[in-house]
Structure 1
């Protein structure tokens, strides 16, 4: 195999490895709906051990693998429990009330059997805390016991007997347990929204949203409702065929292949760590402080002349002469500076210098600079140590990616090196675009060939304005190396990923499914919702007039203040002002003042303040005050009482419509879009009848 191709393959692999997966859900869903998040580790805003309450159908296939108990961390599933209950029903034919009591007995029998089995197998059973039950109560047998939005059959094919229909059980389950990650908390058109998705949805909520609602059931209900709303839109997008166009199918296929190659690179590099000695070596090099003797010249030729002369004389003597003659500026710096704090170009040069070395010339804002390294010393710095690790780590992974690219090429590719060397795109590019000779063959059940024409066309499309100009500049042959590298790596990486079964992993399938959902969601918003959002100039003006306060500057106030520690003193001063006394006279004839520079005293005096900048409780009274009014304000913190005299009031100033038009139009657009989305969601919820199994949280 051509060595150049092997080396270039690794460069493509590195670039590919550095690509981050996209955030695939649109973020512009109006309030009340929420895009899902893919591939993100979202830290929850609630306690990790938080328990939630679910009311789930006893005989639904969707819940067959949901644990109802753990014995030594091994699940007893709802499927096992329901099967045992069915068998009991067949054997005993009890009345309804007796069946309810048998429910608890059956679960305990399953637990006992599991304990006996584990002890017999000598699995190291932990007697303390070995059993965890998530059951809250016995199943109901009437429709009133169903969770919100649940029809008579709670999703999936109903195989139970007539006596077993519509039965639900309540479970108290941990929100962040892997055992329950795939447990449905809702069904939309028989597609589950899982507990794992809910947990990520909670993590996606802003801190403000969480504080506003508190850590209570409303937080969970809101997060789940967002997921349901998103899923309703996705279901409708599927049903009206928004995902069936060739453009959308190509986009999804590109994502699949890109994700496969990414997963392959991540898998190969997972767990690889650089040699600690290499990290230490780089750390010793970059965690240094240096002394520099820097001089600056007005012109580049003068600086170059200095460099030529310094070869035959000492730096100090020559620098002093140039400075004395006015040809340069500078002095020896006795201070040490960390290399990482220098300008990047200078720092890079310093890394390679020894004490006494003189740098090359650098162009700066002050002229042309050069310097001598006069001293250097190592310093311990944890931040620099981490930086050294990253430098070595990135280089190490780059090297491993290069090696892996070469391995894939050797494994899969038959390459015609002689033909490749004959190709000269700089001479006869147009002719080679029709050359069908096979340049490379990628082995497999369905071999893939790359012809000279394939390579030429790939090079052609890489130039924004076509390859004509590049051919004139003799640039095409350089581009062919990169092009063949990319083409081969894309194919070989996909082959290897499928060979390893990465396209069958749960992680990959989930990424693809969620990307498809994101595309459907986006297409629905762009093709169904947004075209119906229409604005007229008259509507924008009416919106502006109705919300004029939003497009006005806040009211402004100028005040004088007297600050007191004692409420009685403050009320005496206030009374005098309200009777018409002059502020200066009052300030000179009452006692109990707190000096204005006292810690914690708010600065109100004689400043022009916006009403919105005042404390919330003061805004209410100051907002209706007139010039000459006096107010008493008790600060919630600091135990101070403020007597305020309103010197001037400047009412809000509306922004002219011409300036506010765009902002008003945008706000109106968002309002109309939200209304259209809400209308759609109402219709879709009625049609698809989402089933919610979340009933609350355990406090």
Structure 2
């Protein structure tokens, strides 16, 4: 996918620390100095971060993941890598990937990344990363990443049995063409099958049963997947030869008789993929259960007697006392123990209306084991992630960094940028004046008409109407009319319809028409004589009505403008180095 989207290479000017000929070959480059206010620099080639340094130009294939960690820019301590650029490029050019060829594209993308990281650097500088509203989501995200990676590790050896997938697919793709009749009473169903046995024809008997209102019968036979048929019914139909019918079968609130007409198996790659995904999901679930059970056996000791003895639905001393209960209900080697109070808190957290309704229904005691398992599982995931050093993996670092960057960026906007943005009524009104055409009510019509099978009869009717013939009389005495149920577009003078809801040919023909005007309209081999019973011209919606919508757009534009101002201002406070080369 990426090789298709990103078939190009980047030229990056990388700083190379200057070393004298007599210097030790293994000497490491000196660390970059900390950014100083007013020392910002942005250039097409990299600003050397080390004294005595020179630059080399490196061509980096954008689709080659081995080059992912290569920096394309830095903002203070924030590093923007090829991975970051590749991800943004794939998102930005998803719908026009083939057109992404110019270096200017990448320059703009890098500038967007630099702008975001500049804001993030300032967010850190003013301490937004120390806010609880930032720290907690970051911690929660870290837990989610750990869970995903432990899950990935636990299921890494899971394989799918092709034979099992084929068996399930072959079963699922079977289809039958059947005709069925549904009866409310078993006696009527038996009368139907008796008539069949006596030589009656299925379709004729089904039609009569429907007319007698003793059965419901669809129109003809239809193809249906075997998997969609009630199991007990499918078992009986399976026994039939084509053309034969079942005995009365119990189906929901009534009885059904089914005739099998034909069998087939249909190739369906989407169905095969869905089955394979389901089989893999079940295998993964089984592997995870085994993995969890093994960890639990090795590391967890649960006080089953205590858990069983304590009622969360009818706790002694009340539920609030149970929330403070520090008795240990589970010990996890390498982690803090789980207390009854934690279990109580876990049970109460999702209950928006408090615990009382759940207690009255006896739900909490039924859920206490699951709540304990969830708490234990969280501890086991942390232990296993630490054992496997999953926090240090590139995926964990990338996902954590992306989340933190996005959170700090939006927090800066919410806390710093938005409070400074003010939009006046005059600005909203100016935007409204520029965009009035976007806020129009469409024209509305009440129409009556006649639909003819040929143009000649339609022209004749048009002349009659223009000559003063009564419309109702014409409807009753015209030749070649199209039956109502076959008309492409039904006209009813009692109904109001907007111009936008009409077929295009009607909209064009009626343009400029007023009350009482008659028009001829051709639509899909049908010819309409249309009279305008009432016309309401389009109108502009008043400012007061659309101001909330306008204000949202104007306010968003003002935020973007203010954010651009902040980025421009902050580039002087946070050292910026761009290593992407734009020269040939």
Query: Same fold by TM (over 0.5)?
Result: yes
- Which of 240, 250, 264 is the aligned partner of 2:126? 240
2:523 maps to: none
* Partner Cα separation in structure 2 for residue 535 and residue 506 of structure 1: 44
1:4 maps to: none
Does residue 400 of structure 2 align to residue 512 of structure 1?
yes
Task: Please state how far the C-alpha of 1:178 moved relative to its aligned partner.
Answer: 3.5
2:332 maps to: 442
2:557 maps to: 671
Q: Superposition pairs for residues 180-259 of structure 1, below 5 Å?
A: 180-206=67-93, 215-259=101-145
In structure 2, the gaps of 5 or more residues are 26-40, 199-204, 240-245, 444-502, 512-536
Provide closer, same or farther for how the CA distance between residues 606 and 516 of structure 1 changes in structure 2, counting only shifts above 3 A.
closer
Q: Classify the secondary structure of the residue corresponding to 2:213.
A: coil
* Partner Cα separation in structure 2 for residue 388 and residue 307 of structure 1: 41
Q: Classify the secondary structure of the residue corresponding to 1:427.
A: coil
Provide closer, same or farther for how the CA distance between residues 326 and 652 of structure 1 changes in structure 2, counting only shifts above 3 A.
closer
* Partner Cα separation in structure 2 for residue 317 and residue 58 of structure 1: 94
**2:45–2:581 contact (8 Å) kept in structure 1:** no
**1:201–1:224 contact (8 Å) kept in structure 2:** no
* Partner Cα separation in structure 1 for residue 190 and residue 542 of structure 2: 67
2:275 maps to: 388
Q: Superposition pairs for residues 362-377 of structure 1, below 5 Å?
A: 362=252, 370=256, 372=258, 374=260, 377=263
Report the aligned-residue RMSD.
4.0
Q: Superposition pairs for residues 151-170 of structure 1, below 5 Å?
A: 154-155=48-49, 158=50, 164-165=52-53, 167-170=54-57
1:20 maps to: none
Deviation per residue, 1:215-251 (Å, 9 max, x gap) = 2111111111111111111101111111101232111
**1:358–1:373 contact (8 Å) kept in structure 2:** no
Q: Superposition pairs for residues 480-629 of structure 1, below 5 Å?
A: 480-551=368-439, 608=508
**2:62–2:82 contact (8 Å) kept in structure 1:** yes
Does residue 9 of structure 2 align to residue 51 of structure 1?
yes
* Partner Cα separation in structure 1 for residue 117 and residue 82 of structure 2: 15
* Partner Cα separation in structure 1 for residue 86 and residue 97 of structure 2: 13
2:21 maps to: 87
Provide closer, same or farther for how the CA distance between residues 541 and 441 of structure 1 changes in structure 2, counting only shifts above 3 A.
same
Provide closer, same or farther for how the CA distance between residues 286 and 357 of structure 1 changes in structure 2, counting only shifts above 3 A.
farther
Does residue 552 of structure 2 align to residue 683 of structure 1?
no
**2:173–2:265 contact (8 Å) kept in structure 1:** yes
- Which of 331, 334, 340 is the aligned partner of 1:452? 340
* Partner Cα separation in structure 2 for residue 551 and residue 322 of structure 1: 56
* Partner Cα separation in structure 2 for residue 256 and residue 280 of structure 1: 39
Provide closer, same or farther for how the CA distance between residues 552 and 372 of structure 1 changes in structure 2, counting only shifts above 3 A.
closer
**1:290–1:373 contact (8 Å) kept in structure 2:** no
Task: Please state how far the C-alpha of 1:149 moved relative to its aligned partner.
Answer: 6.9
* Partner Cα separation in structure 1 for residue 267 and residue 109 of structure 2: 43
In structure 1, the gaps of 5 or more residues are 1-41, 60-81, 92-105, 107-145, 298-302, 556-602, 612-650
**1:180–1:195 contact (8 Å) kept in structure 2:** yes
**2:189–2:257 contact (8 Å) kept in structure 1:** no
Task: Please state how far the C-alpha of 1:468 moved relative to its aligned partner.
Answer: 1.0
**2:176–2:261 contact (8 Å) kept in structure 1:** yes
Provide closer, same or farther for how the CA distance between residues 424 and 336 of structure 1 changes in structure 2, counting only shifts above 3 A.
same
1:658 maps to: 544
* Partner Cα separation in structure 2 for residue 278 and residue 230 of structure 1: 49
Deviation per residue, 1:331-372 (Å, 9 max, x gap) = 7955443346x5xxx467766765458665448xxxx78454
Q: Classify the secondary structure of the residue corresponding to 1:541.
A: helix
1:466 maps to: 354
Task: Please state how far the C-alpha of 1:677 moved relative to its aligned partner.
Answer: 0.9
* Partner Cα separation in structure 2 for residue 426 and residue 606 of structure 1: 67
- After TM superposition, the score normalised by the length of structure 2 is 0.70
* Partner Cα separation in structure 1 for residue 224 and residue 165 of structure 2: 22
Task: Please state how far the C-alpha of 1:436 moved relative to its aligned partner.
Answer: 3.6
Task: Please state how far the C-alpha of 1:537 moved relative to its aligned partner.
Answer: 2.3
Does residue 240 of structure 2 align to residue 306 of structure 1?
no
* Partner Cα separation in structure 1 for residue 324 and residue 390 of structure 2: 36
* Partner Cα separation in structure 1 for residue 192 and residue 327 of structure 2: 62
Task: Please state how far the C-alpha of 1:289 moved relative to its aligned partner.
Answer: 1.0
Matched pairs, number? 469
Deviation per residue, 1:626-678 (Å, 9 max, x gap) = xxxxxxxxxxxxxxxxxxxxxxxxx9964432333233212211221121011
2:533 maps to: none
* Partner Cα separation in structure 1 for residue 300 and residue 338 of structure 2: 10
- Which of 343, 365, 371 is the aligned partner of 1:477? 365
Provide closer, same or farther for how the CA distance between residues 219 and 538 of structure 1 changes in structure 2, counting only shifts above 3 A.
same
Does residue 59 of structure 2 align to residue 172 of structure 1?
yes
Deviation per residue, 1:503-538 (Å, 9 max, x gap) = 221221222122111110110111111222222323
2:290 maps to: 403
2:455 maps to: none
* Partner Cα separation in structure 2 for residue 315 and residue 427 of structure 1: 64
1:423 maps to: 310
1:584 maps to: none
Task: Please state how far the C-alpha of 1:259 moved relative to its aligned partner.
Answer: 0.9
* Partner Cα separation in structure 1 for residue 415 and residue 510 of structure 2: 44
**1:187–1:691 contact (8 Å) kept in structure 2:** yes
Task: Please state how far the C-alpha of 1:476 moved relative to its aligned partner.
Answer: 1.8
1:148 maps to: 43
2:300 maps to: 413
Provide closer, same or farther for how the CA distance between residues 438 and 324 of structure 1 changes in structure 2, counting only shifts above 3 A.
same
Task: Please state how far the C-alpha of 1:545 moved relative to its aligned partner.
Answer: 2.2
